[in-house]
Structure 1
Amino acid sequence: MDKIIDEKTQGNTLTLEAREGNSRKLYIESYGCAMNFSDSEIVASILADQGYNTTNLLEEADLVLVNTCSIRDKAEQTVRKRLEKYNAVKRINPKMKVGVLGCMAERLKEKFLEEEKIVDLVVGPDAYKDIPNLLKEVEEGRDAVNVILSKEETYGDISPVRLGGNGITAFVSITRGCDNMCTFCVVPFTRGRERSRDPQSIMEEVNDLAEKGYKEITLLGQNVDSYLWYGGGLKKDFKKASEMQQATATDFAQLLDLVATAHPKMRIRFSTSNPQDMHEEVLYVMAKHENICNHIHLPVQSGSTRILKEMNRQHTREEYMKLIDRIWEIIPGCAISQDMIVGFPTETEEDHKETLSLMEYVKYDFGYMYKYSERPGTMAARKLEDDVPEETKSRRLTEIVDLQQKHSAIRTAEFLGKTVTVLIEKESKKNKDEWSGRTEHNNVAVFPKSTYKPGDFVKVKVTDCTTATLIGEVVEHS
């Protein structure tokens, strides 16, 4: 759950420039967090070398892949409906092959292949390099599955194809898997234990993006601030590393400093952070570099220490509040966003009130809020009864969302009359005569187009705002 789920991008079909000589068509749809969208870029790169160009027309595809998420029941139900659609098209075009990638694939492999027979191949998050072999199995009339979780795979040697991107912002994956074992979360079971990517391969990818004109990158992982490279291997095995490996290891603060120093004109973001791993060294690096955005996505999940313990979160309410205070001491005005789960098993009205009071303390800039949904295979599903009534969950979620909107309005209004730096990303959806971009605090800003273009940094004076958007006018190029 410690992942940002952008509802606007769910189910996006990803396309890129056709490679000359490729004759087969790949249709790939992605659901879930940014990690899944990043993984789809890796898959497209692998398949481009196998003769596939992407298409956004389902009916003309030779291969249809859906990259899935098991974080919430809603995501799984959406994917099931899409599989029904794919198979309806497949009846018209029987040569089409359908495959499921990602977290849901790992969790439901037997159902998809054997019981329901709705897919031809099933590929887990660590097995994407095996897709060409699996396709050969399918072409020879056999079902194909590889959901083996790896202790080493980071895809550091694959240069991702930037699918459906704007040529301005990009994700760079730095870790895979997770060791935290939060009781509500399937990620450790679907993506495996945590391992970090070689910093040299990360820098090569960032350098390549800079050469291609990208202006902003987001360092990405299930838990970015626990990044630790000591020559390869699982994070949990670091204690077994040699003295030399431990002495020369690279942690997240050092990696962040390395990237920001190498490309001072490129904006740097990172996501997602875990409170237990957000060390002060990272905050000092952020304060040191102007090009590192002053925004931290810091999921808390609940304001109740008792519920946090039930969730197996490795922090208390009080520790989280101290961390917030420290962030603002070192980086004044840093924007903080949250993930919150309501209605976790045994949550009482008192626990709920503690969540509301924590929100009042922090006044988050924005957040991602969900009702608890039991995920098969998690510790919560095995050991805790989902005992909070659905109507209670809905009411509590409404209260939390309403409070967040109030706080978002307060935070956004703080920029009225101020001048902010905005990276222009695209045309505004609501007005074709306006550009839309983001500030370093991750606020969306819209303003008249004038002579500027996507990829420009501009200074915008804020004259008005909504709860989520700054409205203003450009005063100069940045």
Structure 2
Amino acid sequence: MARYHIETYGCTSNRGESRQIESALRDAGHYRVDGPEEADVAIMNTCTVVEKTERNMLRRAKELETETADLIVTGCMALAQGDLFREESVDAQILHWDEVPSAVTNGECPTPGPGVEPVLDGVVGILPIARGCMSDCSYCITKHATGKIDSPSVEENVEKARALVHAGAKELRITGQDTGVYGWDQGERTLHELLDRICDIDGDFRVRVGMANPKGVHGIREDLARVFAENEKLYNFLHAPVQSGSNSVLGHMRRQHQVSEYVEVCETFDAHLDYWTLSTDFIVGYPTEEDVDHQQSMALLRETRPEKINVTRFSKRPGTDAAKLKGLGGTVKKERSKEMSELKMAVVAEAYEAMVGTTHEVLVVEEGTGDSVKCRDEAYRQIIVQNASDYGLEPGDFCEVEVTGHQTVYAFAKPV
């Protein structure tokens, strides 16, 4: 769990994005501190209205860089003029705002608070299906807070899901430290059975499955992919964090999977689904990572081409075994992170560019900036509909849209 400090500059939209960043960080067990000097990571949500503002942002970023262990810069200036921070030698990760939470978590599992009670947030129902995991990753502090997997029964989780749908949830987010090992403590992994049962609930809603480590998914990959293919209510979306393309580094991380098992999961879903989203995570600069290991990660990214990728520079967590290792140094991690992030942007942009001209049924999930709404298509890809009031669209609505354009990590569309 990390201590974070966040500063927000600029418009109402930036403040809204910072609130969503903080919400995700709180859900993951992190907590806010009063100043950057007390924080493990500082987050700066920037503005770039005029030249004077740009100078102020650069000055403040340099100050924060010296006051905290790690700095993340996001917001308008980060996206439009990220190179300025690099030219000024600011040692920071330059990220889109929705990538910030995963960067702060350092590749660790999410850490919800005590209990596994569902929450309804707007039209989104959040259903933690279990607490804990079966892993013992060398870099992760989460396991000290959550322990081993503790899975309520399928029947209990189905009833919680039904209650969320009856309360108005249009999107159910199935969460946990590692959803792929759900039921392991009961003697059998039953995620696919749970999802099948949830999709049988009466109502018009969608289901998104949260993070599932490759090892847990690998053992049920055929059953799981079949359930995805048979249920239209399930978003065709799988978040399977590989963390490295090197079996050597995976061994040092004490990850339970091999690269080949991750690839086999990808191939199985490819065989069952024509259109789906693979989401994965890479930790760059683990203390034992050699250049050849990094290049293996780059090669794996090119081979599997995930449509959503979280790239995190390794940072030490107190009390973990990896914290005892001699680090690689900021320059090496920065260079490798930059190289992988550039490849990531190219891969993701290619996926969204390929969507232009296609039609999809989407669920309106939340309001966007100005008169726009954020939607999710059948593969959980983000689609923005502008001038939403002209179409009478609001959160909870389903509609068919045609994709008309794209940015790197989302598409634009109009109702048809």
Q: Return closer, same or farther for 1:366/1:30 CA change in 2, 3 Å cut-off.
A: closer
For the residues of structure 1 that align with 2:224 and 2:159, how far apart are their CA atoms? 22
Which residue of the partner structure matches residue 139 of structure 2? 184
Deviations 1:39-63 (A, max 9, x none): xxxxxxxxxxxxxxxxxxxxxxxxx
Q: 1:206 aligns with which of 157, 161, 171?
A: 161
What one-letter code is carried by the residue in structure 2 that aligns with 1:215? Answer: K
Which residue of the partner structure matches residue 420 of structure 1? 360
Which residue of the partner structure matches residue 305 of structure 2? 363
Which residue of the partner structure matches residue 438 of structure 1? 376
Which residue of the partner structure matches residue 98 of structure 2? none
Runs (4+) off by over 6 Å: 7-11
Q: Return closer, same or farther for 1:421/1:74 CA change in 2, 3 Å cut-off.
A: farther
Contact residue 363 and residue 399 of structure 2 kept, 8 A: yes
For the residues of structure 1 that align with 2:269 and 2:25, how far apart are their CA atoms? 29
Residue 272 of structure 1 deviates from its aligned partner by: 0.6
What one-letter code is carried by the residue in structure 1 that aligns with 2:372? Answer: E
For the residues of structure 1 that align with 2:334 and 2:38, how far apart are their CA atoms? 15
TM-score, structure 2 normalization:
0.72
Q: 1:454 aligns with which of 395, 398, 404?
A: 395
Residue 323 of structure 1 deviates from its aligned partner by: 1.9
Residue 74 of structure 1 deviates from its aligned partner by: 10
Where do residues 13-28 of structure 1 align in structure 2 (5 Å cutoff)? none
Q: How many corresponding residue pairs?
A: 329
Contact residue 158 and residue 194 of structure 2 kept, 8 A: no
For the residues of structure 1 that align with 2:311 and 2:336, how far apart are their CA atoms? 11
For the residues of structure 1 that align with 2:315 and 2:278, how far apart are their CA atoms? 25
Q: 1:12 aligns with which of 16, 19, 24?
A: 19
For the residues of structure 2 that align with 1:346 and 1:373, how far apart are their CA atoms? 13
Does 2:408 align with 1:408?
no
Q: Return closer, same or farther for 1:356/1:35 CA change in 2, 3 Å cut-off.
A: same
Which residue of the partner structure matches residue 84 of structure 2? none
Contact residue 31 and residue 75 of structure 1 kept, 8 A: no
Where do residues 289-328 of structure 1 align in structure 2 (5 Å cutoff)? 289-328=231-270
Which residue of the partner structure matches residue 267 of structure 1? 206
Residue 75 of structure 1 deviates from its aligned partner by: 6.7
Deviations 1:338-397 (A, max 9, x none): 111000012111111111110000111121111111112112224x322x1210100100
Where do residues 199-348 of structure 1 align in structure 2 (5 Å cutoff)? 199-228=154-183, 235=185, 238=186, 251-263=190-202, 265-278=204-217, 279=220, 280-348=222-290
Q: Return closer, same or farther for 1:339/1:263 CA change in 2, 3 Å cut-off.
A: farther
Contact residue 10 and residue 30 of structure 1 kept, 8 A: no
Q: Return closer, same or farther for 1:125/1:33 CA change in 2, 3 Å cut-off.
A: closer
Contact residue 35 and residue 173 of structure 1 kept, 8 A: no
For the residues of structure 1 that align with 2:378 and 2:250, how far apart are their CA atoms? 30
CA RMSD of superposed structures (Å): 2.9
Q: Return closer, same or farther for 1:466/1:260 CA change in 2, 3 Å cut-off.
A: same
Structure 1 unaligned residues grouped into runs of 5+: 2-6, 15-28, 37-65, 82-123, 129-154, 230-234, 239-245
Deviations 1:443-469 (A, max 9, x none): 221223112222101111011111112
Contact residue 129 and residue 179 of structure 2 kept, 8 A: yes
Partner SS for 2:383: strand
Deviations 1:257-298 (A, max 9, x none): 110112462201111111011122111111110110011111
Q: 2:129 aligns with which of 167, 174, 181?
A: 174
What one-letter code is carried by the residue in structure 2 that aligns with 1:254? Answer: E
For the residues of structure 2 that align with 1:344 and 1:454, how far apart are their CA atoms? 41
What one-letter code is carried by the residue in structure 2 that aligns with 1:321? Answer: V
Partner SS for 1:262: coil
Residue 425 of structure 1 deviates from its aligned partner by: 2.3
Percent identity for Structure 1 against Structure 2: 28
Which residue of the partner structure matches residue 409 of structure 2? 468
